[in-house]
Amino acid sequence: MINGGLLSLKNALSVVITIGILYLLLGWMADLTASFLPDSWEAKAFSWYLIGETTEKQEPQKVNEIFDKLITHASLRKLPYTVQIIPGDKANAFAFPGGRVLITQTLLDSVESDIGIAMVLGHELGHHQYRHCLKRLGRGLFYSFVLSVMGNMGQKEILQKPLQLAELRYGRDQEIEADEFGLRLVYSVYQETSGATDFFEFVVRGEGKDRSRWLSFLRTHPYTPDRIERLKKLVSEMEK
């Protein structure tokens, strides 16, 4: 019985290690593929997709003006960038493959300053710059493949949660990258950063004490107060 138990444990560990290596390898392949995909291919591949309705509120002019300033920066990838204001109960913004940026009217209502809006848009442009959208898409496909293999081997439950936590960590790292890119872009275009953390401060007020730093590892985004502090530190470095 003891030998049989040890053998079962050994087999389980072998499966865990094998799937873990496979996950890392496929994730690396997805990131590498996304990194070398030509901008023109990405733009063409996702040009067909239409994003829902547009908000009826007449505020797109200011957003478009801010967005147009940002996308003229020479450092950006050569994508057909567009911004669209959409309805939504939550203050949120998204980057969609092909150069699209979506921002909810609720978010715009929560941020008053141009720099604050520019920071949100710059953050989403950061996702495009680092090809986060494509990488997430590719990793999602490979992630589904890994879970499928695990299911066929009867080991899906063993590694599903660890793999999910690994992907959450990967997503938080992307958010940090996009934060820093957005701030640098805003500073380069506007030569100031006053108001850049407006949206994050709005988020903190909404979260109150419900958001714990220790539970952030279960979320897709970093702990908001940490994001604010990181951005303030970066501002100090840029303004030296």
What's the pLDDT at 209?
59
What's the pLDDT at 212?
64
State the Cα–Cα distance between residues 76 and 73, nearest whole angstrom: 6
Closest Cα partner for 80 from 110, 113, 45, 29? 45
Phi, psi dihedral angles at 96 (to 5 degrees): -120, 140
Per-residue pLDDT tens digits of the chain, which is 240 residues long: 455 555 566 766 776 677 677 777 877 888 888 888 899 999 998 887 656 555 555 557 899 999 999 999 999 999 999 999 999 889 999 999 999 999 999 999 999 899 999 999 999 999 999 999 999 888 877 777 767 766 655 555 666 676 777 778 888 999 999 999 999 999 999 999 999 999 999 988 877 655 666 566 667 788 899 999 999 999 999 887
What is the torsion angle, in degrees rounded to the nearest 10, for the CA atoms of residue 140, residue 76, residue 238 and residue 219?
A: -20
Angle at 146 between CA 145 and CA 152, to 5 degrees: 90
The predicted model scores a pTM of 0.84
What's the pLDDT at 13?
73
